[in-house]
Structure formats: structure tokens, C-alpha cells
Amino acid sequence: MGTTKDIRDAVNAELKFDPLVDDADIHVVNASGDVALNGTVPSYPQYLEAAAAARRVGGVKNVHNHLEVVLPDADVRDDALLTTVANNALTLNVTVPDGVEASARDGNLTLTGTVKYGRQRQAAELAVAGLTGIRNIRDDIDLSYDADPVDVTLLVQSALDRNGLIADDSNVSVDTVGNTVTLSGHVRTHAEHDAVVGAAWMAGGVFKVRDELTITG
């Protein structure tokens, strides 16, 4: 994955290879591992999957997802219907706490409510992300945790030590101020990046994760 052109070719090949992405109108720009995706895709899951495909590729340090979801006519749902379907999906999901609600406007879904953990917020997004008619999701779910966060730095650092993806000589550092965890240092891949950020979100009382990790690619 030496040169700029190699990375763009590899991202193009990965988008073509991935059966869940229609790459017909995706244009890839690469500047030293900073990859931008421009153009359109026909669904929100494709929007997410295109970025995931680019992140899988070796040498990709950042993905700027500028794709726009342009729904085919058959997939357009009016806002009342989409709001109902989304709220049903949230209510029927065992991982999503009560109190999370969805409202659709022009195909864009906004999630509101209060949950305890960042992972529950993510579960709410996952519960609605595949619905036909969604163009984008705005996640405004608040986090609230009764107790003051205790030992968050220690808990997250222990989780990183346990993780099979994170090298023993990793220089990732975890710093907690109030309810905010700041992550800094170097990771080799997006998968390692996601493992570190995922670990930080699991700790009780974490409301915000500031991601200052550098992906070496």
C-alpha cells in the first residue's frame, strides 16, 4: 500500500467487491491515506457500509464520508409512516431502554431520550438504521449516570490490556476528566482504533469520548 494511487485503487476495489454497496456513483479521493467518499448511494445502510469498506483497507488513515443518500422512488416513506415504524422498532428491541424516541423529517430520523451507556445509544441507532426510507440518522440521545464515574481511566486501560487487537507496546493513553475520556496515541488500523474507542464507551459514567488517536495505517 505504498503510493497514493494504490490506496485509491484498493478502496475502489473494496467498494466494488462488497455486495452490500452499489458503487456506481461513489467517487474516491485519496490524499496520503485521507480518503474522501463523494457521490450518492441508494440507502443509509449503504452509506454506512461504504465507509466501513474504505476503513478495512490497509493504509487508510481517515475516511471522510460525504456520500448522500438518494432514495429510489419505491423506497421513499412519508414522515408519519417512518416515525411510526422507527418507534415500533425501538420499542420491540430488547437492548434499547424505554424512553428513546424517534421522529422523522424528510427521511432524516432524529433519536431523543436518555440512556445510561454509550453502547445503548449505539444499539438504538442500530435498531433503526436498516429501515426502508431512512436517509440519515441524527442521534441526540443523552447519557445520564447516577454515580460519579470511578476509576474510569483504570477500567478502560485494563480493557485495552486484555484486548487481543491492541499491541503490548501500544502507546495509547487514557485520560478522564469528569465524564469525558480523552484517548491519544497511535493505533495501526481502524479495527484497533474501533477497539480502543469501543472500550472507552463501555465504562460507566462516560458521556463523551474525545478521539485524538492517530492511525498509522
Partner 1 sequence: MGTTKDIRAAVEAELKFDPLVDDADIHVVNVNGDVALNGTVPSYPQYLEAAAAAQRVGGVKNVHNHLEVVLSDEDFRDDAMLTTAANNALTQNVTVPDSVEATALDGNVTLTGTVSYGQERAAAERAVSGLIGLRNVRNDIEISYDVESPVDVDLHVQDALGRSALVPDDSDVSVVTKGGIITLTGHVHTWAEHDAVIDAAWMAVGVIDVHDELQITG
Q: Interface with partner 1 includes 2 (CB under 8 A)?
A: no
Q: Interface with partner 1 includes 155 (CB under 8 A)?
A: yes
Q: Interface with partner 1 includes 44 (CB under 8 A)?
A: yes
Task: Spell 132-147 as b/e; 16+ CB within 10 A means b.
Answer: ebbbebeeebebeeee
Task: Spell 22-51 as b/e; 16+ CB within 10 A means b.
Answer: bbeebebebeebebbbeebbbbbbbbbbbb
Q: Interface with partner 1 includes 189 (CB under 8 A)?
A: yes
Residue with grid cell 464520508, as numbered in its chain: 65
Whose Cβ is closer to partner 1: residue 14's or residue 183's? Answer: 14
Residue list 91-110, contact with partner 1 (CB under 8 A): 92-96
Residue list 169-188, contact with partner 1 (CB under 8 A): 188
We find the least distance from the C-beta atom of residue 138 to partner 1, in angstroms, to be 19
Q: Which 8-state DSSP code applies to residue 75? A: G
Instruction: Give me 22's grid cell.
Output: 452499489
Q: Interface with partner 1 includes 59 (CB under 8 A)?
A: yes
Whose Cβ is closer to partner 1: residue 137's or residue 166's? Answer: 166
Q: Interface with partner 1 includes 159 (CB under 8 A)?
A: yes
Contact region for partner 1 (CB under 8 A) — 37-45, 99-107, 135-143, 176-184?
A: 37-45
Other beta carbons within 10 angstroms of residue 128's beta carbon come to 25
Helix or strand run (H / E) with residue 14: helix 4-17
Q: Interface with partner 1 includes 75 (CB under 8 A)?
A: yes
Q: Interface with partner 1 includes 203 (CB under 8 A)?
A: yes
CA distance 101 to 87: 6
Contact region for partner 1 (CB under 8 A) — 99-107, 136-144, 173-181, 196-204?
A: 196-204
Q: According to CB under 8 A, which one of 4, 38, 132, 214 is a site residue for partner 1?
A: 132
- Estimate to the nearest angstrom the gap between the alpha carbon of 43 and the chain centroid: 16
Nearest to 22 by CA among 47, 1, 2, 3: 47
Q: 114-115 and 136-139: which strand pairing? A: unpaired
CB half-sphere exposure, 156, CA atoms < 13 A: 28
Q: Interface with partner 1 includes 83 (CB under 8 A)?
A: no
We find the least distance from the C-beta atom of residue 56 to partner 1, in angstroms, to be 6
Residues that bind partner 1 (CB under 8 A): 10, 13-14, 17-20, 43-45, 55-60, 75, 85, 88-89, 92-96, 116-117, 119-120, 123, 126-127, 130-134, 155, 158-159, 162-166, 188-191, 195, 202-204, 217
